[in-house]
Structure 1
Amino acid sequence: MPPLATPETHALHSTAADILTHLSRSQPAGVPHRIGNWNEEAVLYHERMTEFVKKYQSGEAEVARLRRRVGGARREQILSQTHSYNAPLMLQNLSTKTVLSVDVPEQPTDTYTLTTARETMPVVRCCWTFVLCDDNGNPIEDRHEYAHAHGSSIRYGDKVCILVEGLGDEPMYLKSAQTHLSTNISKYSKQQAVCVAAGRDYTAVWQLEHFELGERPEREGTGIDARHPVLIRHCLTGQCLASDGAYVVRNDFGLEYETTCHTYRHNGTRAELPQNAWFVRTAESVPVEGLQYFRNQGSQQGGSQNGQGRQGQGHLGGSGRYAYAGGRDKIWI
């Protein structure tokens, strides 16, 4: 049998009803502590949403900062029509079929790490400028004298600085250094690390070499070919720029591959492997699906293209060095 209503119980029920009405308003008051009733979670959720909206409108929310950072790094650029110095170009790895890119962190730092990404359009984070250097790593100031003697195109054997612009107040140079115990080691593969940083010194000097070991001496001094990959060798350590699909990096731009400074070699011939091979892409480069690079194929035929049994004999690269293989990944040559 329920207890009889008294003035005291009536006042208590009225107070409880007033509290529930107050908590269910469109903009309830803050909850300084756990109140232990069924409306508590709704109140706390509303407060979190209100705080998020304020931060988002003021540009302080994490999603807004992410959008600005990614949007700034993906501003479109215009590539050079030719393999020229001091003009934007892209570098695509033969092994991973991805392009060399900068992993822009959430907070600005002195150095940015590198990845290879599936960027198909030229954007700020994956456009690189080659600057010609002398044997000591100093930029050649008199471009007219060099152009008169050698031409203006990038050539095998040249020493260069490779830089990216648009990510900071000043250009950031591609750099690497010798590993020492726990320093200058990449995060995933534990190989020699590579990064971009402001300021130019000899750690930012690289040399371009032909990918084919047998043709390297005779090709030195000739212009690079869009249909043949190049080696980008670090002058200070002798290691080559590399990207390996076995080491996946998850960042704000998606799933990408780690980039290091490490020379992959064949156990028998000691020749460099496709992880070290890079195509220099210009605005005139065209995509070719399922294209793979083979050494010493001669007149041998490649595999089928897209599973349709069509054979290729490497007409794109000459000497049978290209063959078709299945897959949707594209090489721009």
Structure 2
Amino acid sequence: MARNMYGPGVRMGNWNEDIYLEEEIMKDFLEKREKGQLFIQRNRRLKSHLLRPMQLSVTEDSYVHFGDSVMLVNPDHPEVQADQFLTGDLSLCLTPDEIAAHLSDRFELPCGLSASPTRSPVGRNTFTVLRADREATGQVLRFGQSFRLGITLGCEDQMVYLSSDLRTLLRSAKKSWLQEVFLTDEDSFLNCWQAAHPDPELRLEWEGLPVPANTRVLINHCHTNRGLAAHRYLFLRTYFGKEAEVAAHTHLDSHRVERPRNHWMLVTGSPRKEASSMLEVPKPPVERAPALEPEPAAAPGAQ
């Protein structure tokens, strides 16, 4: 089968126009490379920012304080209602739109969220606990007190906040169609949350007490009264691989108790150098109580 083997070097046809076209393509390539606008350069900048190592705050009194840098982790639990699901501890992560992130150096807002098996603190899963009334930091966060969760977005150190709003026909979660959770730079009542005790019988007794770090709590949205939930059985294909969907919905069992999907931990840093967070610190073994030895039987005839 005959093939056209002619090129611009043969000097036939529109060889002059082809040479000029190749020069323009090369010139455009070199110009984009100097400005850092190539696809591979944008890809490296995006990964270097979102996956940069972060330092979590180390708590001295085992409580969460305003201004602390923490990770929001959904503890490992089996999903009895699904055959396939993500196992292990899942951390709440920033998940930008892949196409929009490559077209511009600025993230498109509002930005999405997901639950990832990442256990180390990086740029996309490290949140800062902020007061809703913008008062001084350092005070202890208490149950029933409104707070915000902010994360640094982009290379310009822009702060965006964890937010949610009522479900509409145009805005809902991608897989479950429940209330959406997103990140936005708008400072409003939509980014106010409250912590609650996971046991309903102890919830009123713990009202107003400090929120302990690295323990299970509920995080409820103040405006809609929906609980933050991680759907391990609903998978999302993100820029960083397969992750789970995050939505705002309170999942109750037959006893009207929140399911493990609504359980979260505010994970702080570890004082040990070899561990970046308290998740990597091995738990001490449970000390078993010594077994009670049976008393020796009394000898017959003994008084």
What per-residue deviation string (whole Å, max 9, x for no partner) do you get for residues 137-183 of structure 1? x33x256xxx7xxxx22222221111112435531011111112x13
1:261 to 226, 248, 267: 248
Match of residue 43 from structure 2: 66
| TM-score between both structures, scaled by the size of structure 2 | 0.71
State the alpha-carbon separation in 2 of the partners of residues 201 and 21 from structure 1: 62
Are the equivalent residues in 1 in contact too, given 2:214–2:268 (CA < 8 A)? Answer: no
1:274 to 240, 255, 260: 260
1:79 counterpart = 2:56: yes
1:172 to 156, 160, 173: 160
Q: 1:233-252 residue pairs with structure 2 within 5 A?
A: 233-252=220-239
Match of residue 121 from structure 1: 120
What per-residue deviation string (whole Å, max 9, x for no partner) do you get for residues 206-245 of structure 1? 1101112222112222222335211110011010111111
% identity of equivalent residues: 25
Q: Relative to structure 1, is the Cα distance of residues 81 and 22 closer, same or farther in structure 2, using a 3 angstrom cutoff?
A: same
State the alpha-carbon separation in 1 of the partners of residues 52 and 17 from structure 2: 42
CA-based RMSD: 3.4
For these two proteins, the number of residue pairs brought into alignment is 250
| TM-score between both structures, scaled by the size of structure 1 | 0.65
2:179 counterpart SS class: coil
1:125 counterpart SS class: coil
Cα deviation, residue 190, structure 1: 0.7
Larger Rg: 1
Match of residue 280 from structure 2: 287
Q: Relative to structure 1, is the Cα distance of residues 31 and 261 closer, same or farther in structure 2, using a 3 angstrom cutoff?
A: same
Match of residue 39 from structure 1: none
Gaps of 5+ in 2: 78-85, 271-277, 288-303
2:149 counterpart SS class: strand
Are the equivalent residues in 2 in contact too, given 1:209–1:232 (CA < 8 A)? Answer: yes
Are the equivalent residues in 2 in contact too, given 1:73–1:104 (CA < 8 A)? Answer: no
What per-residue deviation string (whole Å, max 9, x for no partner) do you get for residues 224-281 of structure 1? 2335211110011010111111111112112111111111111x11111111111111
What per-residue deviation string (whole Å, max 9, x for no partner) do you get for residues 78-118 of structure 1? 11002221121111012452111111231422210111112
Cα deviation, residue 51, structure 1: 7.4
Are the equivalent residues in 1 in contact too, given 2:119–2:279 (CA < 8 A)? Answer: no
State the alpha-carbon separation in 1 of the partners of residues 109 and 214 from structure 2: 35
Are the equivalent residues in 1 in contact too, given 2:189–2:223 (CA < 8 A)? Answer: yes
What per-residue deviation string (whole Å, max 9, x for no partner) do you get for residues 17-45 of structure 1? 9x56936xxxx97759xxxxxxxxxxx9x
Q: Relative to structure 1, is the Cα distance of residues 103 and 29 closer, same or farther in structure 2, using a 3 angstrom cutoff?
A: farther
Q: Relative to structure 1, is the Cα distance of residues 177 and 29 closer, same or farther in structure 2, using a 3 angstrom cutoff?
A: same
